[in-house]
Structure 1
């Protein structure tokens, strides 16, 4: 519990530092809308600070009560021959946190747990969980799913959304959600000059690098509650935590991938399809030609085409359409990979990602992207938060997830789209 109190104090310090940074951004040159936004964020942070202070006081009070109780037990504890030996090993095995946690979300009240089980639950919560509770007792809030599921949830998210995968985009992980600036630059048109002996180097500003910047925020998205019955839980569902984690991971993955693909940039990420520049417009509204796909690829500067993360991106319906394309000799252009040799499937010698948030081939749609996806920045704030609610749905239970992230394309010339002809 001391470790738990220490962690809460550290969280308070972080909140206070971030709140101070927001106030420092307000000055005479700050426009009114931005100042209002910063002040609201500061007030929210202070409310969270006060909430943590109340929680710390409860933890400290509980710790004091437990210490006093332990001292009383120690004074009254029998010794020597009066000690009763239990079982062949002399001690009963301690209950596991996972089992106690399962009992609680299945409806067992905290007060019905043994003292040892409550200690196991409390220690496990401090070690494995980030708990979000309403004011009051534990039963009035809920217990979050143990963080050992986070790895599984994130893996499922990657499977359902390539834009959340660090193998595709450039991922930035941050602990807090303060806005951050990402510097951008496009220097592909610049080169060195020839030099003559004894000639002075130019110092006229023609070689200056033009930097830009993009802002990454921390937008919050959530899943609806997944509800399941008390009877279902009680009838022996195996590994319910992993099963629910899989479902939540799917939903979080779809939300994140869709926003990072087609987000509008208004109170949401600037999706890569939205932020990309146009490579070409197809001649038809409902079909593609291989020549057009080649034009899309060559509309991207060769400097970007050599990146390790250069690739095509389209949905599965588009993949089916282009798998049917053949060259002049009747050979299919799509090439199946070799799993045993570690060779991924490729299209025209390039890797591709299936993204179900991309539109189908249709009039005016943008069904295909090509370029250097490392120039797309995905900011992930902390880990996904998954919470279980008991009393809200009692006697049933509910689980939901939250994530914070943002996305922005640092260089619009690095990734380009193919647009179908309008009807």
Structure 2
């Protein structure tokens, strides 16, 4: 635990008592509100804020972010199941064979799990663990729709416009109406790989939980790459991120584009009534999407929004009600994605929408491991692959805030 010059506590690691961490987080937010109220009062009286107050506010923002990250780590650790515990699993023989393959390269019972490239398919428990941990680490996996597929490409038809209809009299003629318009969205799965290494001595240690080790190592590598691709991926050997779609002003929106609202100021929120443009963004989304909508931004942008109030002096940003909950902004859940851009001129730094309907992640079933004890002696390499695709599923379900004059 570290202490700043203001007496503010920051956490170096995640303590085991999540309730205590949450209490400290709530206390820090109350201190944040008090300090920001003083800053706003100084702005009203003198037209400028005390530099000491600005500095303290920045440090409080950092404390809030650090405490929330510590809570997230503690919750992941608490929720992590035992992969190879004492309970007897139905496929225990296969798991033992997989462990033998990882440790010593033995290929017993390969008829159960042989892959075409000579590798070995990860047991179901380990595969599930990798995906579950990525849901905890990768905010896009927790937000977006996810499909499991067995092929290399997932295709999805979608109705862009419904059939034309019209009112007619009892005996009036019934002319043929225009048919509905269908489009097909295609999501190719791309190969995501990690290649952790271990010494033979490490693998020979009977205390090593091989399945857990692979899950942890691969999870860290996969999660970071996935989130970046789901946000900013260009579609070349990786999923296509939602920010790489063509963005047009909401008034000119059409299918195939994402609509945006401009702040009216380059690289900033409006100087007065800053929250109005955020309200406009909320109501740019149709009612059917708003019910399950979330804000997506990075922590620096969230730090800026924490300072905003409504006309009655209430803070628009509110902390989570429980330790495992999410913060809310203007009544909607707020999700941090560090791959979202910082506030800058012409940047799309805030997204708002129903991401479960707006973005689709496609997972090809299976995570395979190829053991390589030859290429990097004395290390044993584990070439681990997973095929993942992704792209926008509904262009009307996500709206962006552009920090620009138009």
User: Of the candidates 172, 176, 180, which is equivalent to residue 147 of structure 2?
Assistant: 172
- Residues 387, 364 of structure 1: alpha-carbon distance in 2 compared, 3 angstrom cutoff: farther
Deviations 1:296-343 (A, max 9, x none): 11222334324x3x2221122222221222222332111223238x86
Deviates more, 1:172-181 or 1:312-321: 172-181
- Residues 267, 184 of structure 1: alpha-carbon distance in 2 compared, 3 angstrom cutoff: farther
- Cα displacement (A) at 1:153: 0.4
- Residues 156, 372 of structure 1: alpha-carbon distance in 2 compared, 3 angstrom cutoff: same
Q: Indicate the residue corresponding to 1:254 in structure 2.
A: 224
Q: Indicate the residue corresponding to 2:289 in structure 1.
A: 304
Q: Indicate the residue corresponding to 1:283 in structure 2.
A: 264
Contact conserved, 2:154 with 2:362, CA < 8 A, in 1?
no
1:203 aligns with 2:175: yes
Deviations 1:231-250 (A, max 9, x none): 44446663243133112012
Please give the secondary structure, in 1, of the residue aligned with 2:108: helix
Distance in 2, Cα, partners of 1:283 & 1:360: 17
The aligned runs of 1:394-409 (5 Å cut-off) are 394-409=377-392
Contact conserved, 1:161 with 1:253, CA < 8 A, in 2?
yes
User: Of the candidates 122, 126, 138, which is equivalent to residue 108 of structure 2?
Assistant: 122
Please give the secondary structure, in 1, of the residue aligned with 2:304: helix
Q: Indicate the residue corresponding to 1:293 in structure 2.
A: 278
- Residues 201, 323 of structure 1: alpha-carbon distance in 2 compared, 3 angstrom cutoff: farther
- Residues 144, 194 of structure 1: alpha-carbon distance in 2 compared, 3 angstrom cutoff: closer
Q: Indicate the residue corresponding to 2:79 in structure 1.
A: none
1:372 aligns with 2:354: yes
Contact conserved, 1:252 with 1:401, CA < 8 A, in 2?
no
Contact conserved, 1:285 with 1:364, CA < 8 A, in 2?
yes
Q: Indicate the residue corresponding to 1:153 in structure 2.
A: 130
- Structure of higher CA gyration radius: 1
Please give the secondary structure, in 2, of the residue aligned with 1:214: strand
Q: Indicate the residue corresponding to 1:392 in structure 2.
A: 375
Task: Please report the TM-score for the alignment, with normalisation by the length of structure 1.
Answer: 0.61
User: Of the candidates 158, 163, 188, which is equivalent to residue 140 of structure 2?
Assistant: 163
User: Of the candidates 189, 204, 220, which is equivalent to residue 218 of structure 1?
Assistant: 189
1:316 aligns with 2:299: yes
Deviations 1:119-152 (A, max 9, x none): xx623x444x344555xxxxxxx65543321111
Q: Indicate the residue corresponding to 2:212 in structure 1.
A: 242
Deviates more, 1:274-283 or 1:342-351: 342-351
Distance in 1, Cα, partners of 2:192 & 2:108: 29
Contact conserved, 2:192 with 2:385, CA < 8 A, in 1?
yes
- Residues 281, 249 of structure 1: alpha-carbon distance in 2 compared, 3 angstrom cutoff: same
Distance in 2, Cα, partners of 1:192 & 1:334: 44
Contact conserved, 1:300 with 1:416, CA < 8 A, in 2?
yes
- Residues 268, 250 of structure 1: alpha-carbon distance in 2 compared, 3 angstrom cutoff: same
Contact conserved, 1:164 with 1:253, CA < 8 A, in 2?
no
- Residues 202, 159 of structure 1: alpha-carbon distance in 2 compared, 3 angstrom cutoff: farther
The aligned runs of 1:103-114 (5 Å cut-off) are 105-106=102-103, 108=104, 110=106
Contact conserved, 2:121 with 2:366, CA < 8 A, in 1?
no
Give the gaps of 5 or more residues in structure 2: 1-91, 246-256
Contact conserved, 1:371 with 1:415, CA < 8 A, in 2?
yes
Q: Indicate the residue corresponding to 1:381 in structure 2.
A: 364
| Superposition CA RMSD, Å | 3.2
Distance in 1, Cα, partners of 2:276 & 2:181: 34
